[in-house]
Copies of this chain bind each other. A is one copy, B any other.
Amino acid sequence: MSGSGSFQRVAIIGLGLLGGSLGLALREHLPAVATTGYDRDPATRQRAAERGLVGAVCETAAEAVAEADLVVLCVPVGAMAEAARDIAHALPAGAIISDVGSSKRSVQKALAEALPDHICIPAHPVAGTEQSGPEAGFASLFEGRWCILTPPEGAPAEATDRLSSLWQTLGAKVEIMDADHHDLVLAVTSHIPHLIAYTIVGTASDMEDVTRSEVIKYSAGGFRDFTRIAASDPVMWRDVFLNNRDAVLEMLGRFTEDLTALQRAIRSGDGETLHDLFSRTRAIRRSIIDEGQDDASPDFGRDH
C-alpha cells in the first residue's frame, strides 16, 4: 500500500461497530493515513474521540469529508441516502465514496442519486458481532473475513482496485460481484438467519405455557445461540429487511417450503427424511471451518 494508488485521508461517517472498527484498523495498519469521523449522535462523537476511533472527530459530516479522498458511510442502510445528501456539497471533487451496508442494490441507487458527480463503489465487509455503538469496535474485526465490492457498471477499475487494496491491507479478502447477486447471497447467509433468530426468540418470549424463566434456564439446549444474533442492532436490521425485500422474501419462501417438508416428515414419522437431511448438513460446517470462517472448537470455544 504505497504510491499514487493509496488513500491519504479517509472520512468515516457513522462511528458504531463498523465505523469504529474501520477507524481502528486504519490506525493499526496504515498509521500514515489521516482519519476523520462524524456521528450524528453527540454522545457517540464524544466516546469516539475518547477511544480514538479516528484521528479527528468532527462536529459536522461536511467538516469530516472536506479534505477526504475516501469517504466510507457506516450508517444503517436506510440512512445512506440522507448521509450522502449531507456531504454532497462538501465533498472534494476526486473523492471516492463507499459504505459498509449489508444490502447493496438500494445503497448503490441511493449513492448514485445523491452524488451523481462522484465515483461510488459500494462495499460490504461480511463481519460483525451482536454488539453496536462506539464501544463495540476493534481493529481485527475484518481479519480473514470477506469484503464484497459491488462497483456499478461503468465505474473506473482503478477506483475499485484502490478500494480492494485498502480492504486487503486491513486483513480482509475481497470479492467483486453484482449488487443483485450480493443481495441474494447475503439474504441466505445473513438476512434469513437473522430473521428466523429474531422470530424464534420472539416466539419464546410470548408463550403463556412456558415461562420466560424456563426459556432462560434451559437455553443451553440450542436457543441461546439464536439470542446472540437476535441481540443485534434493531435499526440496522429493520433497514436491511426493508432494503433487501425481494431477495429476503424469495429466500424466505424457499426456507418455508423446506421447513414444511420437515414438518410433514415429523408428523408422518418419516425418520429417513430427517436423518438424510441431518447427515448432509454436517459437511457444510466442516467446509466453513476448513476455510477459516469459524472456530473448530466445540460450542464455538465457549468456556465450559
Interface residues of A (CB under 8 A from B): 78, 102, 126-131, 136, 138, 140-141, 143, 145-146, 148, 175, 184-186, 188-207, 209-210, 212, 214-232, 234-235, 237-239, 241-242, 245, 248-249, 251-252, 254-256, 258-259, 262-263, 266-267, 269, 271, 274-275, 277-282, 284-288, 291, 293-295, 298-304
Contacts and interface: CB of A to CB of B under 8 A. Distances in A.
A201 B284 contact: yes
A199 B191 CA distance: 15
Residue of A136, A189, A245, A271 contacting most chain B CB atoms (<10 Å) = A189
A216 B287 contact: yes
A189 B214 contact: yes
Contacts of A226: 193, 225
Residue of A126, A200, A301 contacting most chain B CB atoms (<10 Å) = A200
Contacts of A231: 281-282, 285-286
B281 A266 contact: no
11 contacts: A146-B217, A191-B222, A201-B285, A205-B280, A216-B293, A224-B288, A234-B278, A234-B279, A239-B271, A300-B300, A300-B301
Contacts of A138: 304
Contacts of A224: 288, 293-294
Given A249-B266, A300-B302, A304-B143, A212 B284 contact: yes
A190 B223 contact: yes
B225 A225 contact: yes
B294 A202 contact: no
A148 B145 CA distance: 40
B285 A130 contact: yes
A204 B189 contact: yes
